[in-house]
């Protein structure tokens, strides 16, 4: 009886190991793309962000200005206030091909751009 239990545990352990390898492999294909953006002189740099369609992304925003700015996009369904001299991030869901505008809510005349999913 003891040998049967040992063999069962070994089989279960091997099965879990194979399942874990499959999950890790599939997660690697779905890694989040990270893009760095700066706010400088009330402008986004770069103002045009290219992302592959169908992939999740994170935009890391560093506000180099002394005053706050808000990254706002109805098309992307995100908004984030970044205090002056601070950083923040917004997560972007996988997008269909297209152009998705964003603005700096506090300086919309100068702080504007687009995410381009291609």
Handedness of CA 101, 105, 106, 109 (dihedral sign): positive
The pTM is what?
A: 0.74
Instruction: State phi, psi for 7 to the nearest 5 degrees.
Output: -65, -40
Q: What is the tens place of the pLDDT at every residue in 24-65?
A: 333 355 689 999 999 999 999 999 999 999 999 999 999 999
pLDDT of res. 31: 86
Question: For residue 69, is pLDDT > 50?
Answer: yes
By CB neighbour count within 10 A (0-12 exposed, 13-18 middle, 19+ buried), where does 109 fall?
A: exposed
Would you place residue 5 in the very low, low, confident or very high pLDDT band (cuts 50, 70, 90)?
low
List pLDDT tens digits, range 80-91: 999 999 999 999
pLDDT recorded at residue 3: 55
> According to the model, what pLDDT value does residue 23 have?
34
pLDDT score for 18: 39
CB 91 within 8 A of CB 77: no
- The residue that leads in pLDDT, 56 or 12, is 56
Fold for the domain defined by 33-117 = Immunoglobulin-like (2.60.40)
31 DSSP assignment: P
Alpha helix ranges (H) inside the chain? 2-29
Count CB-CB contacts under 10 A for residue 70: 18
* In the predicted structure, residue 10 carries a pLDDT above the cut 90: no
């Amino acid at each position: 009886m003891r040998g049967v239990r040992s063999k069962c545990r070994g089989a279960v352990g091997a099965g879990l190991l194979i399942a874990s390898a499959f999950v890790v492999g599939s997660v690697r294909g779905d890694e989040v793309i990270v893009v760095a953006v700066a706010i400088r002189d009330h402008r986004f740099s770069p103002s045009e962000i290219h992302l592959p369609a169908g992939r999740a992304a994170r935009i890391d925003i560093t506000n180099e200005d002394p005053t706050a700015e808000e990254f706002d996009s109805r098309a992307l369904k995100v908004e984030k206030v970044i205090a002056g001299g601070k950083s923040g991030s917004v997560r972007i869901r996988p997008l269909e091909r297209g152009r998705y505008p964003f603005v700096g809510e506090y300086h919309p005349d100068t702080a504007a751009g687009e995410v381009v999913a291609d």
